[in-house]
């Protein structure tokens, strides 16, 4: 009985303690303030957090980390939903050959683009540091970073002058194509980046597109024209190279079509070649084949025209013999000028003289000829014309009857006259070509239009021989010796 009461007492005591604890906890909960917002788990545990927000942290992916999905060669990118994605058909990396394909999964080069491309030049920027230009092609900078901010082919503007970078030695030293002037220090020099640069495996420049749109080919770093080619050739194979004025439908056309080669003006509208006008110059290879320089109405195969007085260094035509043969020293000054690289001098004449061709007196050579023909005919420095007359140059010899020639001379009309193109005061004496031809039939098909200088001399010599024979026979008759038997002097 005593044991039972003792145990009951213990249980009642424990029950009282538990009861009091429950009352205290209930009282504490009842007195606590209610929460002002729902419970939010930490951001790194929230799968719906927005990347970049203050409550969202993303563990970076390091190289070598396995990706749960993806295809070999994928170039991962963040899509419009903010998720990592891939598009191998349009962006692919060939890790075996280290090639990037855009629009292809089989790139054949370092960069292989299947589709159109577009390159846009970089806007003008300011270089680091300052440049105090000197009168030199070597440019020295202070605090500059030439090796990292510039490449060969870029242009720089320093104190208002723009030059092209041709070499970079260090961060503070480079070379330009043309020397700067010794201007004031520029604390903010400008950089004009080249739009496109191509180099070979030895780092030699092959092609450049400058910021001003000019193209340099073959090592041309600073192109001086829209297309500037250094050496090499341009070939047109079964195609056309030309410039077109769209408004007029005409332009310059150079074509290489099977069976023909042309250069000239071209009417794209009517598909015909026309005159090519260069300033006041007409070149017309299509109609009559004449070429005019300084005139739109060429009167011959080559017609050069310059108005106004000319000087010794200003010729309407200039042909230069690049050989060193001084025997070809020739025409100096008016209308046509021919010179040799041999040592010679030529007179020029007064500026008031009007010469179509001016034959200058030459000196300094072994044989000083103003005109020399391969046949042996020549005009010497003194103005004497000498015909070629060697026997080896001739054939079909015919023996003449001196009396017959003398009789024809007597029938030939000789006049005093002047050429229509000369002033009437410039008089001459001689036969007409038509009369001379009718009597002697010399000069061939066009013998009735001109007379060779050698033919009248020959006719005169034969006539003199006939007269000499007659005089001799007369002397014999007068002396009583008589005329030799068989003599034919035309006196009987």
Return the axis-axis angle of helices 433-440 and 454-479, rounded to nearest 10°. 60
**Residue where the block lists tokens 């990396």:** 93
146, with CB counted inside 10 A (0-12, 13-18, 19+), is buried
Indicate whether 65 pLDDT > 90.
no
pLDDT value, residue 346: 43
Q: Which helix (H) or strand (E) holds 99?
A: strand 99-102
> What is the arrangement of strands in the sheet containing 205-209, beginning at the earlier edge strand?
196-199, 205-209, 215-217, 227-229
Range from 204-208, 260-264, 303-307, 465-469 carrying the lowest mean pLDDT: 260-264
pLDDT value, residue 402: 93
Q: Are 378 and 330 in contact (CB under 8 A)?
A: no
Confidence of residue 344 (pLDDT cuts 50, 70, 90): very low
Residue predicted with more confidence, 258 or 91: 91
Task: In whole angstroms, give the CA distance from residue 113 to residue 116.
Answer: 8
Confidence of residue 380 (pLDDT cuts 50, 70, 90): confident
**What predicted TM-score, i.e. pTM, was given to this entire model?**
0.46
List the structure tokens of 448.
Answer: 């009735």
Using one digit for the tens of pLDDT, what is the confidence trace for 108-162? 999 999 999 888 889 999 999 999 999 999 999 999 999 999 999 999 999 999 9
Confidence of residue 336 (pLDDT cuts 50, 70, 90): very low
The chain-wide mean pLDDT, for the chain, equals: 76
Confidence of residue 342 (pLDDT cuts 50, 70, 90): very low
4, with CB counted inside 10 A (0-12, 13-18, 19+), is exposed
- Domain ranges for the chain: 77-113, 132-229, 240-304, 312-396, 398-475
Residue predicted with more confidence, 478 or 308: 478
Using one digit for the tens of pLDDT, what is the confidence trace for 100-109? 999 999 999 9
List the structure tokens of 258.
Answer: 């099977």
**Residue where the block lists tokens 């400008």:** 190
Provide mean pLDDT across the span 234-254.
59
CB-facing half-sphere around the CA of 55: CA atoms within 13 A:
10
Residue predicted with more confidence, 21 or 390: 390
Q: Are 75 and 95 in contact (CB under 8 A)?
A: no
Residue predicted with more confidence, 140 or 21: 140
List the structure tokens of 188.
Answer: 């903010």
Taking alpha carbons only, the member of 157, 173, 177 closest to residue 165 is 177
Q: Which residues pair with 205 in a beta bridge?
A: 199
């Amino acid at each position: 009985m005593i044991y039972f009461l003792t145990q009951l007492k213990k249980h009642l005591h424990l029950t009282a303690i538990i009861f009091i604890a429950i009352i205290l906890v209930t009282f504490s909960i009842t007195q606590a303030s209610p929460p002002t917002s729902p419970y939010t788990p930490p951001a790194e545990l929230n799968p719906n957090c927005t990347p970049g927000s203050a409550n969202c942290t993303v563990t970076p992916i390091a190289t070598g980390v396995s990706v749960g999905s993806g295809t070999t060669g994928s170039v991962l990118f963040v899509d419009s939903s903010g998720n990592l994605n891939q598009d191998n058909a349009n962006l692919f990396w060939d890790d075996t050959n280290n090639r990037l394909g855009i629009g292809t999964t089989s790139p054949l080069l370092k960069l292989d683009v299947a589709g159109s491309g577009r390159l846009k030049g970089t806007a003008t920027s300011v270089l680091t540091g300052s440049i105090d230009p000197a009168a030199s092609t070597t440019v020295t900078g202070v605090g500059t970073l030439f090796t990292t901010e510039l490449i060969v082919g870029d242009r720089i503007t320093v104190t208002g002058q723009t030059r092209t970078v041709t070499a970079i030695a260090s961060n503070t030293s480079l070379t330009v194509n043309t020397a700067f002037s010794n201007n004031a220090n520029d604390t903010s020099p400008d950089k004009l980046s080249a739009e496109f640069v191509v180099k070979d495996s030895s780092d030699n420049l092959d092609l450049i597109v400058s910021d001003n749109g000019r193209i340099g080919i073959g090592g041309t770093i600073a192109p001086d024209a829209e297309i500037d080619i250094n050496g090499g050739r341009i070939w047109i194979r079964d195609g056309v190279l030309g410039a077109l004025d769209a408004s007029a439908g005409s332009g310059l056309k150079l074509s290489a079509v099977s069976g023909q080669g042309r250069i000239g003006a071209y009417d794209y509208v009517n598909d015909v070649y026309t005159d090519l006008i260069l300033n006041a110059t007409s070149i017309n290879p299509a109609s009559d084949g004449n070429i005019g320089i300084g005139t739109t109405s060429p009167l011959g195969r080559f017609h050069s025209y310059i108005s106004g007085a000319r000087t010794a260094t200003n010729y309407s035509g200039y042909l230069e013999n690049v050989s060193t043969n001084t025997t070809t020293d020739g025409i100096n000054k008016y209308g046509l000028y021919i010179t040799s690289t041999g040592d010679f001098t030529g007179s020029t004449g007064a500026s008031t003289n009007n010469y179509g061709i001016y034959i200058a007196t030459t000196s300094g050579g072994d044989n000083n000829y103003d005109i020399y023909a391969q046949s042996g005919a020549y005009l010497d420095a003194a103005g004497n014309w000498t015909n070629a007359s060697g026997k080896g140059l001739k054939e079909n010899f015919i023996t003449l009857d001196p009396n017959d020639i003398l009789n024809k001379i007597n029938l030939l009309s000789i006049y005093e006259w002047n050429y229509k193109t000369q002033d009437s005061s410039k008089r001459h004496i001689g036969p007409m070509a038509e009369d001379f031809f009718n009597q002697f039939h010399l000069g061939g098909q066009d013998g009735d239009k001109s007379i060779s200088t050698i033919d009248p001399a020959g006719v005169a010599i034969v006539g003199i021989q006939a007269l000499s024979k007659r005089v001799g026979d007369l002397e014999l008759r007068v002396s009583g010796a008589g005329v030799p038997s068989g003599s034919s002097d035309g006196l009987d």
